[in-house]
Amino acid sequence: MPLVRISLMKQEKKEFGRKIGEIVHQEMVHIISVPEKDCFQVITEHDNNSLIYDSNYLGIRRGDGIIFIQITLNEGRSVDLKKSLYKNIADRLHHELDVRREDVLINLVEVKKENWSFGNGLAQYT
């Protein structure tokens, strides 16, 4: 069960954040075999006082179109799958929403299966 957190600057188009979430979810289904109905996301919009980033870290020029995508998921995917996920998300955001690839920051947080409760106070994966 991935939990996806997407942070971006405030947008005029209300559906923009949701479209980002849809792309991220579709790529997780396609690349890392997340079940289709396994979609849990928190999408937040910020101003420049609450979304802070270095505009040139590692020589990558970022702007206010920056999007932080943090995915908490079960551990165990290969480095190659993770790289494919990063690339596909950045490419689709670029092609479909005109997001600069430089503005897509993705962070995976891997956890053990016993670290999830889907409800009822139970650890369903143990």
With vertex at residue 44, the alpha carbon angle to CA 41 and CA 50, rounded to the nearest 5 degrees, is: 140
Structural domain span for residue 10: 3-115
How far apart CA 53 and CA 35 sit, in angstroms, is 32
The residue from 1, 2, 21, 50 that is catalytic is 2
For the chain, what is the domain count?
1
The reported pLDDT for the residue numbered 112 is 94
Q: Which among 101, 77, 74, 76 is positioned nearest to 89, based on CA atoms? A: 101
The reported pLDDT for the residue numbered 86 is 98
Residue 125 lies in a domain: no
Residue 55 lies in a domain: yes
Domain of 51: which CATH number? Answer: 3.30.429.10
- Is residue 35 annotated as a catalytic residue, yes or no? no
How many residues belong to the chain? 126
How far apart CA 54 and CA 58 sit, in angstroms, is 9
Strands 3-9 and 41-46: parallel
Dihedral over Cα of 31, 32, 35, 38: its sign: negative
Mean pLDDT by 10 residues, the chain (126 residues): 95 94 98 96 96 96 97 97 98 98 98 92 90
